[in-house]
Structure 1
């Protein structure tokens, strides 16, 4: 069975608002609770809706039950509007399309479910997709939270020493005219730099993090950020694995709905917001349209592993696309979990060692001249 996405696409009834920082945040697939559906909320929504539909409850009644049980005000309002649209004769896919809280991937998936009469199975698959995505998000957060806290604390400790402790020793050495070794001169120079430009450096760091919200709607910024993340040792490979896991899961779900490969690539390309993968999928789509197989198209991009390409080739020969991509997704998901645990395990001692070295260097640099000072005072 084949679906033409262009025929599915309909003109949106909502008027696009002017682009701004806040609209960029609203258009994200991951949105705040106050503005729509978070990943966790979508996981619960689709899973519970699938259970209700499988139990014989109508779509309208199911959405009403979910709306009445919804504690988040904005999410409840969205569900109420969707129910109203259903009463007016709209399909669920067209009803959710007018809300920025839902992605194009969800719209097309539900549209396909409506056309094939498998809406219950599709929403169950969407629930599984967001459950896995939510788990991966937790893995990333758990892997980075503790190291970031430790590193931030260490940075503040070193900054305090350079700002207040080193100048105290510097005054003592200056008053007694002690000749300083090179390492002490270096630390003193760093301390003077921190005293003169420390606030500017902190401001620049804050501005760097704030730029994510200021420029995140800009394509050049997102492209630069994704390419930069991909080049970070170990962490870049970890992030790539997370997105490959999402890619394989999405293809597996769409294959289960009998969506053709080209259309699946089109949907996933719109759903995954990671430019290295999006660019690769763009050329993969063009290559397939020229007559190449999926495995041949994937082979021309370094972001796809040789193992994936080999298994995809097997899936083409055996017509087991759904099974192979499901197995790939399981492997990538397990790899994400292992790498997240390894990252937190490795980064913690590395940061502690780094902090110890920094503090030790500062202390050694300050105490080396003390021996000369003791000789001067003793004489």
Structure 2
């Protein structure tokens, strides 16, 4: 069975800027394929760390899944539960399907906020400030703050986005068209709508896949709690007997 590894990569984007990041994969070829799909030209892909079982059994991850199981047990849909946990994330962003869901939700929120502020006649800096305040995810909030700083220095929005790996090439290309054509608010609204649709479709498929698994986890947690409560009583009975 292939070992899951953490790879660190560097690549050139369509603007000629060097970008870097990390990706979990079973082989280096999978990382190259992902970079090509994102419109990036790989420069280097290095093995960083083998992800053994101990990596996934950290205290943070255990707490995270317990929180997720509790929310599901309370009747909250999987998508809403993941959204509530999005601010704890770095861990969830390492899980491929879940990371796509969280990124899609964050991108939708960001572009909706930017579109509304543009349509209201507010400047782009104010819109970016509002977008940063509307996002709970630390990674995206940090990226928006960096983009805001670059735009303040006179860098076009699409170029600032290109330096952040959280924003796919499609976002950069459409925003560039919007900036050049003077229809930035329209393109931002289209991006928000497109990301919302993609996220909804992904969420439906992901929910159907993961909810049975999460129900098993919830059942295991409940069973473990029952055993922990009644095992001392059984032990006491056997000693007295």
Q: The TM-score by the shorter chain falls in which range?
A: 0.5 to 0.7
Segments of 5+ residues of structure 2 without an aligned counterpart are: 1-58, 71-84, 218-241
Deviations 1:129-164 (A, max 9, x none): xxxxxxxxxxxxxxxxxxxxxxxxxxxxxxxxxxxx
The residue aligned with 1:266 is 129
1:320 to partner: Cα distance: 0.5
Match for 2:154 among 284, 291, 308?
291
Residue in structure 1 matched with residue 36 of structure 2 by the alignment: none
- Asked if 1 retains the 8 angstrom alpha-carbon contact of 2:88 and 2:137, the reply is no
Counterpart among 166, 172, 183 of residue 320 in structure 1: 183
- Superposed CA deviations along residues 72-108 of structure 1, whole A, max 9, x for unmatched, are xxxxxxxxxxxxxxxxxxxxxxxxxxxxxxxxxxxxx
Pairs within 5 Å for 1:105-124: none
Are residue 209 (structure 1) and residue 62 (structure 2) matched? no
SS of the residue 1:249 aligns to: helix
CA distance in 1, matches of 2:210, 2:191: 28
Structure 1: gaps spanning 5 or more residues: 1-200, 213-221, 356-379
Q: Deviations along 1:261-282, whole A, 9 cap, x unmatched?
A: 1111011111211111111011
1 or 2, which has the higher helix percentage?
1
Specify whether residues 348 and 314 from structure 1 end up closer, same or farther in structure 2 by C-alpha distance, changes over 3 A only. Answer: same
TM-score (norm 1): 0.34
Aligned-residue offset at 1:208:
5.7
**What is the CA-CA distance between 1:323 and the residue it aligns to?**
0.6
Question: Counting strand residues as a fraction of each chain, which structure ranks higher?
Answer: 2
> RMSD of aligned C-alpha atoms?
3.1
Q: Whole-Å Cα distance in 2 between the matches of residues 338 and 253 of structure 1?
A: 24
Is the contact between residue 92 and residue 98 of structure 2 (CA under 8 Å) also seen in structure 1? yes
1:209 deviates by 3.4
CA displacement at 1:311 relative to structure 2: 0.3
Task: Tell me: CA distance 1:347–1:291, structure 2 relative to 1, closer, same or farther (3 Å).
Answer: same
CA contact (8 A) 2:111 2:191 kept: yes
Matched, 1:250 2:113: yes
Greater RCO (CA < 8 Å, at least 6 residues apart)? 1
Secondary structure of residue in 1 paired with 2:154:
coil
Q: Which runs of 4+ in 1 moved over 4 A?
A: 204-208
